[in-house]
Chains A and B, each alone.
Chain A
Amino acid sequence: MAEDYLQTKGRIFDIQRYSIHDGYGIRTIVFLKGCFLRCRWCCNPESQHYDVETMTVQGKPKTIGRDVTVEEVMETVQKDRPYYRRTGGGLTLSGGEMLFQQEFARDLLRASKSAGISTAAESTAFSEYRAIEELLPYLDQYLLDIKHMDSAKHKRFTGVPNERILENARRIAKSGMTELSIRVPTIPTFNDSPEEIRAIAEFAGSLPNVARLHLLPYHRLGLDKYAGLGREYGLPDISPPDREHMLMLKKIAEAGSGLECRIGG
């Protein structure tokens, strides 16, 4: 049956409409469950494990994670078509990590494209390239995180080394099949020194076909979720970087990469 891929099942934990900070226009974000990384600052800790779990939200238990088909997700995604049409918006996959559920992600992106809805994904690119390559034909915009150029430090703060990520970034860039943006979560005590940002910027600058570089300032909006999940927050009590520091880093990033740089999504 030709439409089999619409029945592919996946596990998500949220769908948010009227998202205007990630990608173009008014978008619908589908949050997939499960991630390869364990970033200490992660603002969506409920996304990390693939298993369905319970999180306490405002004193009440809430089930995180439900299994859905591509078709079911698309039913919601289609609803905001009038706004996508006006703004160039569309579907964004986030998480979690879409590559953790590669088959579901691929089929969801494919369904979206065949419905005439543009696609974007926020991804760590931590997987075999073959898995990424399979979804590129259906992905208009790849928002790829580069967190640190030092693999050891990368591993210490995210749980995985960075070689595969950097290699995939190169190959995605070279493919020219998607609009690639490099995004850097800017985390005090981890990567917010001028040297560290410069190193990432230079890497981004060395890639072909990169649309722009985003510096995403650290925030603590996910902090309550750790308590709700009964987990420890992996960072000490640090404050978000102030505006001046971010502007300084932006200049460095621009100089280092030669790319258009933005603070925030």
Chain B
Amino acid sequence: MNRYYSTELPKSGRIAELVSDLFAKMPEIESARAVLLTESYRATEGKPIVLRRAMALHHILKHLPIVIRDREMVVGSTTLAPRGCQTYPEFSWEWLEAEFDTVETREADRFRISEQTKRELHEANAYWKGKTSSELADAYMTPETHKAIEHNIFTTGNYYYNGIGHYTCQYEKVLNAGLRGISDEAAGKLAAMQPGDQDYVRKSTMLQAVIISCQAVIEYARRYAALASELAEKTADAARRTELMTIAENCRRVPEYPAQSFGEACQSFWFIQQVLQIESSGHSISPGRFDQYMNPFLQRDLEAGRITRGAAQELIDCIWVKLNDLNKCRDAASAKGFAGYSLFQNLIVGGQTGEGEDATNDVSFMCITASKHVFLPMPSLSIRVWNGSPHDLLMHAASLTRTGIGLPAYYNDEAIIPAMMDRGISLREARNYSIIGCVEPQVPGKTDGWHDAAFFNMCRPLELVFSNGRDLGEQISIRTGEVEEMQSYDEFFRAYQEQMKYLISLLVNSDNAIDVAHATLTPNPFESCLIDDCMDKGLCLEEGGAHFNFTGPQGFGIANVGNALYAVKKLVFDEKTVTMKELKKALKFNFGQGLDADGAAALATEAIRDMRAQGQNVSEESIPAVAAAILREGISEEEKARFTEIWEMIKALPKFGNDDPEVDAFAREAAYCYSKPIETFRNPRGGQYQAGMYPVSANVPLGAQTGATPDGRLAHTPVADGVSPYVGTDVNGPTAACNSVAKLDHMIASNGTLFNMKFHPSALSGESGLDNFINMIRGFFDQKGFHMQFNVVDRDTLLDAQKHPENYQHLVVRVAGYSALFTTLSRSLQDDIISRTEQASTE
């Protein structure tokens, strides 16, 4: 007999209704949290910050309007409107005020906002002037860092504008001990301290904050119990009355006490997941190994005959719906980088236990089935693959992949576990890893990983090699020499390494500034009581309380830089068919393929500022006129022909992604230019920096700020995503692309790497299609690849969805480390997904 039950369970009628209610309206911004937070902060001025945070949470949870939606079995909503969002002015708010009138019509992730909400938020926001974490972070950053951000070398906007999130807390502790148990633990530690202890001042305050926070959540659940009872009395529907009475009972018990049933466990899990989002605006608060901590409750109920498998599946499906009820409004620029209303709640199944046995259980299968039933982007479902993964679990996962939803993402234990151990994590802890957000591994319940710390565009330092550190006529980086005078490829490559090192140090300055600002102004006691060793240290997560501390900023554009370095070596230094001077000019003029307004403006700005620097009497005001002249006159036919010729020469060169050992080696070196310097830095929480190589969706907006690159990529087009080949350049099929990607050193990028593939549905048809698909993943993982994710939607469907979005409201596609509704993405991101190379099987 199997160790687990693997048969796919049917979908209940309730789920379709819950989903359709969820998407009936455009998501809406609500003001309740901001108003309540501000009220509380006004009343607690002068108290220790961690206490103020706890008291604010208490005040919010006491008064936040609550709602039980029709037919819900698991309750708790952050907003009255489905998929609505609250705001978090303690981190930042000015962008929202500036976007009040455009947030409803902007390109990505639109939100409705009423006039009344605008007024209420405006009033609350006024309090926060000069008090936010973003303002403090600004004050901590060096002028050079500000300059680099202004010139789009990297962006640290994620944690600058928002809370941190990006952790997996100890859900199992709440399920097994209850918040009462955790609160008692805090009280016990408090009682054991003496006022004269060295750490008494901070620790006792932190523990008091924990006790207040737990009490706040317990009372919040009781409000839901009361509401459920009230609705039960009112309803004429007998079946619904029974359901509401069950909900009321559940909410009376959990999360205060240990869960006694699978239903209570589901409700307890949900309150934690939901309240964590209210406490801070950090996203990627990831449920982690849900199958591991939920299965014991299911098994106990099944053995006692208290639940049917079908009813348990329905409860899991209900949680899946709720995960899509949570939402977040980001500033317009960030919304493009995190497009698709995503909260990146990563939930992972399978893998190994801490002792190295296969961890697959009934709930692992049910989670995959739930994603088939609910068919929405959340949770970001992931699966751990190891040498001992059962074939039927992978087949079940592949059958979900085949639907085109872009889930699950596949992770390789055999590479991730050793990579984590290299960061000082024990074997047992590493075997228990889960994934945060997009692709970031961590030890759940023990880590503050700061995983999504920045987007670093690796193409920009390459541009600065060509300009000797200047951008738009300003010296924004170090001088690495005039590129025309470089005598060898080694000299050129060293210049790139130097530019990278310097700019990475500025990125670190920016992240550390934001880090200190969060520690100072926005420590979060509730999340901290669910992560080791915060209570022992008496420090919140933001203050360095976690057992493991990392900062993981992600670089992207590896394929472009690898191909570019190769092209420079081949054409300029080996074959000498193009001079560096010619190449530099060809890049400036976009290989003669036409300049857009941004390109012309950049050239004009540079020209005018260079003239001013040489003491000429020209004004910056003449820039638009010069730009217009550049656009009008273009370049000579002769130059245009030569630039086009250079472009064709570059395009004809081998490219990363085709299993060509020579060019692949350049991509490997390019990746090292980011991953090696990064890991030499440390953060204010005492942890190490570790590189990630994934772009979320920022390769599109940040590509739009990048000129043409020597790999033949045209100006202002997207750069390569993650570790994937550059779009359209991998032409030798999926195994060749896999082999190239596997040649990168994934283990050093322990904050995660992301490999996107797009398949035509026919390649996954039939049992043998799935079988070969799984084994292709295994073949890639045998070579120590980290991660793979797939889009299985044919091009025509996507093109049609662009034309008739109304017919494709529920079309889910894989973006980067997450799936999203295709029609909510910006046009440019949609185009990027469509242009990814489609892998078909050959006849």
- A, B from the same assembly: yes
Q: Is the CB of A25 within 8 A of B842?
A: no
The verdict on B736 contacting chain A, using a C-beta distance below 8 Å, is yes
The verdict on A105 contacting chain B, using a C-beta distance below 8 Å, is no
List, in ascending order, chain B residues with CB within 8 A of A17's CB.
Answer: 732-736, 842
The verdict on B843 contacting chain A, using a C-beta distance below 8 Å, is yes
- From known contacts A17-B732, A85-B779, A86-B778, infer whether A221 and B843 are also in contact, taking CB-CB under 8 Å: yes
B interface footprint on A3-32 (CB within 8 Å = 1, 0 otherwise): 000000000000011111100011001000
The verdict on A79 contacting chain B, using a C-beta distance below 8 Å, is yes
- CB nearest neighbor in A for B739: A79
Q: Is the CB of B736 within 8 A of A87?
A: no
List, in ascending order, chain B residues with CB within 8 A of A221's CB.
Answer: 843
Q: Is the CB of A18 within 8 A of B659?
A: no
List, in ascending order, chain B residues with CB within 8 A of A86's CB.
Answer: 775-776, 778-779, 782
> Which B residues, 764 to 787, have Cβ-Cβ distances below 8 Å to chain A?
768-769, 771-772, 775-776, 778-780, 782-783
List, in ascending order, chain B residues with CB within 8 A of A25's CB.
Answer: 772, 775
Q: Is the CB of B775 within 8 A of A19?
A: no
A interface footprint on B709-752 (CB within 8 Å = 1, 0 otherwise): 00000000000000000000000111110010000000000000
Report the separation of the CA atoms of residues A19 and B734 in the bound assembly, to the nearest whole angstrom.
10
> Distance (Å) between the CB of B491 and the closest chain A CB?
33
List, in ascending order, chain B residues with CB within 8 A of A236's CB.
Answer: none
The verdict on A59 contacting chain B, using a C-beta distance below 8 Å, is no
Q: Is the CB of A16 within 8 A of B779?
A: no
- CB nearest neighbor in A for B775: A86
Q: Is the CB of B783 within 8 A of A82?
A: yes
- From known contacts A25-B772, A87-B772, infer whether A18 and B778 are also in contact, taking CB-CB under 8 Å: no
List, in ascending order, chain B residues with CB within 8 A of A29's CB.
Answer: 842
Looking at the complex, which one of B659, B735, B839, B843 makes contact with A26 (CB distance below 8 Å)?
Answer: B735
- From known contacts A26-B735, A83-B779, infer whether A18 and B842 are also in contact, taking CB-CB under 8 Å: yes
> Which B residues, 785 to 843, have Cβ-Cβ distances below 8 Å to chain A?
839, 841-843
Q: Is the CB of B736 within 8 A of A26?
A: no
Q: Is the CB of A79 within 8 A of B775?
A: no
- From known contacts A17-B733, A17-B735, A20-B763, infer whether A82 and B779 are also in contact, taking CB-CB under 8 Å: yes
Q: Is the CB of A18 within 8 A of B734?
A: yes
List, in ascending order, chain A residues with CB within 8 A of B783's CB.
Answer: 82
List, in ascending order, chain B residues with CB within 8 A of A82's CB.
Answer: 739, 779-780, 782-783
List, in ascending order, chain A residues with CB within 8 A of B839's CB.
Answer: 18
With a 10 A CB-CB cut-off, give which of B776, B782, B842 has the most chain A CB atoms. Answer: B842
Q: Is the CB of A18 within 8 A of B841?
A: yes
List, in ascending order, chain A residues with CB within 8 A of B771's CB.
Answer: 87
Q: Is the CB of B843 within 8 A of A18?
A: no
Chain A contact-residue range equals 10 to 19
Q: Is the CB of A16 within 8 A of B733?
A: yes
- CB nearest neighbor in B for A19: B842
List, in ascending order, chain A residues with CB within 8 A of B842's CB.
Answer: 16-19, 21, 29
Report the separation of the CA atoms of residues A118 and B780 in the bound assembly, to the nearest whole angstrom.
20
Majority secondary structure, A binding face: mixed
> Which A residues, 78 to 104, have Cβ-Cβ distances below 8 Å to chain B?
79-80, 82-83, 85-87
The number of A-B residue pairs with CB atoms under 8 Å apart is 63
- From known contacts A79-B739, A83-B775, infer whether A18 and B733 are also in contact, taking CB-CB under 8 Å: yes
List, in ascending order, chain A residues with CB within 8 A of B769's CB.
Answer: 20
List, in ascending order, chain B residues with CB within 8 A of A16's CB.
Answer: 733, 842
Report the separation of the CA atoms of residues A217 and B561 in the bound assembly, to the nearest whole angstrom.
46
List, in ascending order, chain A residues with CB within 8 A of B763's CB.
Answer: 20
- CB nearest neighbor in A for B778: A86
> Distance (Å) between the CB of B260 and the closest chain A CB?
45
Report the separation of the CA atoms of residues A16 and B736 in the bound assembly, to the nearest whole angstrom.
10
List, in ascending order, chain A residues with CB within 8 A of B775's CB.
Answer: 25-26, 83, 86-87
Report the separation of the CA atoms of residues A17 and B733 in the bound assembly, to the nearest whole angstrom.
6
With a 10 A CB-CB cut-off, give which of A16, A18, A21, A86 has the most chain B CB atoms. Answer: A18
List, in ascending order, chain B residues with CB within 8 A of A43's CB.
Answer: 843
List, in ascending order, chain B residues with CB within 8 A of A19's CB.
Answer: 841-843
List, in ascending order, chain A residues with CB within 8 A of B732's CB.
Answer: 17
Report the separation of the CA atoms of residues A95 and B583 in the bound assembly, to the nearest whole angstrom.
43
List, in ascending order, chain A residues with CB within 8 A of B736's CB.
Answer: 17, 79
Looking at the complex, which one of A18, A20, A80 makes contact with B768 (CB distance below 8 Å)?
Answer: A20
Looking at the complex, which one of B735, B778, B780, B782 makes contact with A79 (CB distance below 8 Å)?
Answer: B735
Report the separation of the CA atoms of residues A16 and B842 in the bound assembly, to the nearest whole angstrom.
7
> Distance (Å) between the CB of B230 and the closest chain A CB?
58
Report the separation of the CA atoms of residues A17 and B839 in the bound assembly, to the nearest whole angstrom.
11
List, in ascending order, chain B residues with CB within 8 A of A21's CB.
Answer: 841-843
- CB nearest neighbor in A for B772: A20
> Distance (Å) between the CB of B526 and the closest chain A CB?
46
Q: Is the CB of B768 within 8 A of A26?
A: no
B interface footprint on A209-243 (CB within 8 Å = 1, 0 otherwise): 00000000000010000000000000000000000
- CB nearest neighbor in A for B763: A20
With a 10 A CB-CB cut-off, give which of A26, A43, A85 has the most chain B CB atoms. Answer: A26
> Distance (Å) between the CB of B594 and the closest chain A CB?
22
List, in ascending order, chain A residues with CB within 8 A of B841's CB.
Answer: 18-21
With a 10 A CB-CB cut-off, give which of A43, A87, A221 has the most chain B CB atoms. Answer: A87
> Which A residues, 105 to 164, have Cβ-Cβ distances below 8 Å to chain B?
none
> Distance (Å) between the CB of B783 and the closest chain A CB?
6
Report the separation of the CA atoms of residues A80 and B772 in the bound assembly, to the nearest whole angstrom.
13
List, in ascending order, chain A residues with CB within 8 A of B780's CB.
Answer: 82
- CB nearest neighbor in A for B764: A20
- CB nearest neighbor in A for B661: A79
- CB nearest neighbor in A for B841: A20
List, in ascending order, chain A residues with CB within 8 A of B776's CB.
Answer: 18, 26, 83, 86
Looking at the complex, which one of A20, A79, A87 makes contact with B659 (CB distance below 8 Å)?
Answer: A79
List, in ascending order, chain B residues with CB within 8 A of A79's CB.
Answer: 659, 735-736, 739
> Distance (Å) between the CB of A261 and the closest chain B CB?
16
> Distance (Å) between the CB of B394 and the closest chain A CB?
12
> Distance (Å) between the CB of B779 and the closest chain A CB?
4
Report the separation of the CA atoms of residues A221 and B783 in the bound assembly, to the nearest whole angstrom.
35
Looking at the complex, which one of B735, B778, B843 makes contact with A80 (CB distance below 8 Å)?
Answer: B735
List, in ascending order, chain A residues with CB within 8 A of B782's CB.
Answer: 82, 85-86
Q: Is the CB of A18 within 8 A of B735?
A: yes
> Distance (Å) between the CB of B760 and the closest chain A CB?
12
> Distance (Å) between the CB of B451 and the closest chain A CB?
29
> Distance (Å) between the CB of A94 and the closest chain B CB?
10
> Distance (Å) between the CB of B713 and the closest chain A CB?
22
Report the separation of the CA atoms of residues A87 and B769 in the bound assembly, to the nearest whole angstrom.
11
> Distance (Å) between the CB of A239 and the closest chain B CB?
18
- CB nearest neighbor in A for B782: A82
With a 10 A CB-CB cut-off, give which of B735, B780, B782, B841 has the most chain A CB atoms. Answer: B735
A interface footprint on B382-412 (CB within 8 Å = 1, 0 otherwise): 0000000000000000000000000000000
Ordered by A's residue number, 17 sampled pairs between the chains whose C-beta atoms are within 8 Å are: A17-B733, A18-B735, A18-B776, A19-B843, A20-B763, A21-B841, A21-B842, A21-B843, A25-B775, A26-B779, A79-B659, A79-B735, A79-B739, A80-B779, A82-B779, A85-B779, A86-B782
Chain B interface (Cβ < 8 Å from any Cβ of A): 659, 732-736, 739, 763, 768-769, 771-772, 775-776, 778-780, 782-783, 839, 841-843
Q: A79-B735, A80-B735, A87-B779 are in contact. List 13 more A-B contacts (CB 8 A).
A: A16-B733, A17-B842, A18-B841, A18-B842, A19-B841, A21-B843, A26-B735, A43-B843, A82-B779, A86-B775, A86-B776, A86-B782, A87-B771
Q: Closest 8 CB pairs between A and B?
A: A86-B775, A83-B779, A82-B779, A16-B842, A18-B733, A17-B733, A87-B775, A19-B842
